[in-house]
């Protein structure tokens, strides 16, 4: 069905999450302006700063166009935040970073927990966001200050993002922390205040609750945190927030971002202006091609990078973009896929387009984190902000913003863009083709489809899926639905741990690690000594306090004293170690442990405190943290000591039975295994895992609180 003019509207729950009022809203173009704006807003924070990102780097320089910090605070991100909380101790800062894939490790801050949690004051809280399915990512880029000002768009607070809108070829300030220069970089963010900022705060609080197991109350009664030097583009406007959220645990699938793209395209009459990093979502291309057929006067100017930065992006996205372009080919010159180029003498560089902007008919403006790829439609989390002009003033603002963006790529002024568009009777494409100033211009994107063999198509299927890979659902089906989705990662960790034990058996032949045979020999000398029980227990307590692997001690004790006596000694020793480290956790308290281990400590604490004996037993069976960490967390929580000790005994029992049954053979298997030994060990580990899961399923089904 054809869409008629004026039919576009926001539909909460379908193409938007919320529509909220904003007294002021503005577009921020490029990293220098964005970093200056968030720096200014953060300096005004009284109580709360919340930050979420796909990538966050402790050494990112939060500086404006001058490239220098001019307010007396440090330029690097982590140092800046540290100085902020030193000046205002009541300020709480929460940083949420996607728990990124190993594929991106070489491009990231190598130790974000160390630089953003351990090396910062205790009121800077850092958590890794793993609340997405396997193969998905947390892709929202949010900054919320006192619930009074919110930022959302395409820019992360990380390195190799800073640039001015001049996009000069050789700006000496455009270098990463190692001093290495990088090409011009273009991106766009939006800043809002009022109810819209508070809504972004609610979104951030929900993600923090999922990742850090901590509820954060909204902040009310703060001051004016609007950034200095930022003139609002809109006054008293409605801001629509659209999301993508893949199905995960109790979070339902949300595809508002995709629905809004469809609805905006269906409403287009004359012009569509797009800036986007990736163009691979064929349903979007097909919808656009359909609308172009329906409206012969409609044109689309689409600006994207000619090439991408990382090897993975090049191999996974270019073939998809070629297919995207092929769908639009019949529209001919009414669609132009182009990229910005800068020439200076014999030197030519291409500007990296990282922005996610869409403007329809000069009356609908959209700025966000969502790319026009498959991932952003249903696999990753996304957040886009949209404004529909409600009067001539707001429409004039959208026109000015579009001209500002085109001017950025053409090296012209916004006024020159306005004149060129008028001269070409409103055609953005014709104006863009003739505009070219100061070495800047737009050029045709040309993709060589022959450079993407079938192997690259496989990479694209993994890197740009339409839905999450779905490993959780597969494993859940295998386990009959007994294990909650959120716990599946821990089940997988237990299975992986079994393989690690076998690998360690091989490693221990060559490397003198914490070997059971060495510990066994030490304990064997105590055989027959009346002090043996006391020494063994003391050894467990001391080793547990040092986070020595408790399994090694249990194995060595069983090997030294035999299955029955060894089981008794190891059981008493493990329980004594658990009790002592529980006491240490209680003495240290919640804050000290949280500073050390991070907000994820709440996951252990809440599970333990909420369900008592069964929670402790389940954690021992399917561990979410090492033995000593669980003990410390339990001590810092409100769980009664009896529930803690009873749960520890029940949870450790299957493993202790398995190790004690192996007895004297265990140390030999660990140090000098034969193929038969390794097969037996693998079978024993599999039995351990099966018994552990079986006991957990039985407890979950037949033993609940109150029974």
Gap between the terminal Cα atoms of the chain: 59
The arithmetic mean of pLDDT across residues 572-588, rounded, is 83
pLDDT band at residue 626, thresholds of 50, 70 and 90? low
Token pair, residue 358, equals 């869409």
pLDDT band at residue 518, thresholds of 50, 70 and 90? low
Largest Cα–Cα separation, the chain = 101
Given a contact cutoff of 8 angstroms between Cβ atoms, the answer to whether 61 and 160 are in contact is no
Token pair, residue 238, equals 């409605």
The proportion of the chain whose per-residue pLDDT surpasses 90, expressed as a percent, equals: 51
Token pair, residue 275, equals 């800036």
**Range picked from 43-57, 311-325, 507-521 for highest mean pLDDT:** 43-57
Cα separation, 356 vs 561, whole angstroms: 66
The reported pLDDT for the residue numbered 607 is 57
Cα separation, 314 vs 280, whole angstroms: 12
CATH of domain 24-229: 3.30.870.10
- State CA 194 to chain mean position distance: 26
Q: What is the Rg, in whole angstroms, of the alpha carbon atoms belonging to the chain? A: 29
Cα separation, 650 vs 152, whole angstroms: 48
Q: Which DSSP helix (H) or strand (E) runs through 387?
A: strand 382-388
The domain defined by 269-377+388-463 carries CATH number 3.30.160 = no
Helix (H) and strand (E) counts for the chain?
Answer: 23, 19
Q: Among 642, 657, 661, 664, which residue's Cα sits nearest to residue 695?
A: 657
pLDDT at 459 > cutoff 70: no
pLDDT in tens, 392-425: 999 999 999 999 999 999 999 999 999 999 999 9
Length of the chain: 707
Which burial class, exposed, middle or buried, applies to 177 when counting CB atoms under 10 A from its CB (0-12, 13-18, 19+)? middle
Cα separation, 208 vs 535, whole angstroms: 45
Side-chain half-sphere CA neighbours of 450 within 13 A: 0
**CB within 8 A of 131, min separation 6: which ones?**
138, 207, 210, 211, 248, 249, 251
Cα separation, 171 vs 92, whole angstroms: 36
């Amino acid at each position: 069905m054809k869409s008629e003019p004026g039919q576009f509207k926001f539909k909460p729950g379908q193409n938007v999450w919320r529509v909220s009022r904003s007294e002021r809203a503005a577009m921020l173009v490029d990293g220098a302006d964005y970093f200056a704006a968030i720096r200014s807003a953060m300096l005004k924070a009284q109580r709360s700063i919340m930050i979420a990102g796909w990538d966050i780097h402790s050494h990112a320089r939060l500086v404006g166009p001058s490239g220098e910090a001019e307010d007396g605070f440090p330029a690097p991100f982590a140092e800046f935040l540290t100085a902020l909380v030193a000046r205002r101790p009541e300020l709480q800062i929460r940083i949420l970073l996607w728990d990124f894939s190993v594929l991106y490790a070489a491009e990231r801050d190598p130790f974000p927990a160390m630089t953003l949690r351990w090396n910062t004051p205790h009121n800077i809280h850092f958590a890794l966001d793993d609340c997405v399915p396997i193969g998905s990512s947390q892709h929202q880029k949010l900054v919320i200050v006192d619930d009074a000002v919110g930022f959302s768009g395409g820019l992360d607070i990380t390195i190799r993002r800073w640039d001015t809108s001049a996009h000069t070829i050789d700006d000496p300030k455009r270098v990463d922390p190692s001093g290495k220069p990088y090409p011009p970089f273009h991106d766009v963010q939006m800043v809002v205040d009022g109810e819209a900022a508070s809504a972004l705060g609610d979104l951030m609080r929900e993600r923090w609750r999922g990742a850090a197991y901590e509820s954060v109350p909204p902040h009310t009664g703060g001051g004016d945190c609007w950034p200095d030097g930022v003139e609002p583009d809109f006054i008293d406007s409605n801001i629509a927030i659209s999301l993508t959220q893949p199905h995960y645990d109790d979070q339902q699938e949300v595809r508002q971002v995709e629905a809004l793209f469809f609805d905006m395209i269906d409403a287009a009459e004359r012009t569509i202006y797009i800036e986007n990093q990736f163009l691979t979502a064929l349903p979007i291309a097909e919808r656009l091609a359909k609308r172009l057929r329906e409206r012969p006067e409609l044109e689309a100017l689409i600006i994207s990078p000619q090439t991408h930065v990382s090897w993975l992006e090049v191999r996974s996205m270019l073939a998809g973009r070629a297919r995207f372009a092929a769908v639009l080919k019949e529209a001919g010159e009414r669609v132009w896929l182009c990229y910005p180029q800068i020439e200076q003498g014999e030197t030519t560089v291409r500007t990296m387009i990282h922005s996610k902007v869409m403007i329809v008919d000069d009356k609908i403006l959209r700025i966000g984190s969502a790319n026009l790829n498959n991932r952003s439609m249903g696999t990753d989390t996304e957040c886009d902000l949209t404004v529909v002009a409600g009067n001539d003033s707001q429409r004039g603002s959208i026109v000015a913003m579009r001209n500002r963006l085109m001017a950025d790529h053409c090296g012209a002024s916004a006024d020159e863009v306005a004149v060129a568009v008028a001269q070409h009777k409103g055609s953005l494409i014709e104006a863009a083709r003739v505009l070219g100033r100061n070495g800047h211009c737009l050029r045709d994107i040309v993709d060589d489809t022959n450079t993407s063999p079938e192997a690259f198509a496989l990479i694209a299927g993994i890197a740009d899926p339409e839905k999450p890979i779905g490993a959780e659902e597969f494993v859940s089906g295998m386990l009959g639905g007994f294990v909650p989705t959120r716990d599946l990662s821990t089940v997988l960790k237990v299975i992986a741990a079994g393989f690690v034990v076998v690998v360690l058996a091989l490693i221990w032949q060559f490397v003198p690690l914490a070997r059971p045979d060495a510990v066994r020999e030490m304990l064997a000398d105590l055989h027959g000594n009346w002090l043996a029980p006391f020494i063994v227990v003391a050894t467990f307590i001391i080793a547990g306090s040092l986070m020595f692997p408790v399994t090694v001690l249990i194995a060595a004790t069983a090997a030294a004293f035999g299955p029955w006596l060894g089981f008794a000694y190891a059981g008493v020793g493990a329980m004594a170690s658990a009790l002592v480290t529980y006491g240490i956790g209680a003495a240290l308290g919640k804050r000290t442990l949280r500073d050390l281990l991070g907000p994820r400590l709440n996951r252990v604490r809440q599970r333990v405190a909420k369900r008592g004996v069964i929670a402790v037993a389940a954690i021992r069976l399917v561990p979410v943290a090492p033995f000593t960490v669980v003990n410390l967390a339990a001590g810092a929580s409100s769980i009664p000591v009896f529930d803690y000790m009873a749960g520890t005994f029940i949870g450790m029992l299957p493993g202790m039975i398995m190790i004690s049954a192996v007895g004297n053979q265990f140390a030999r298997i660990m140090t000098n295994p034969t193929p038969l030994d390794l097969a037996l060990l693998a079978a024993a580990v599999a039995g351990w895992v099966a018994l552990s899961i079986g006991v957990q399923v039985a407890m979950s089904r037949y033993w609940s609180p109150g029974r």
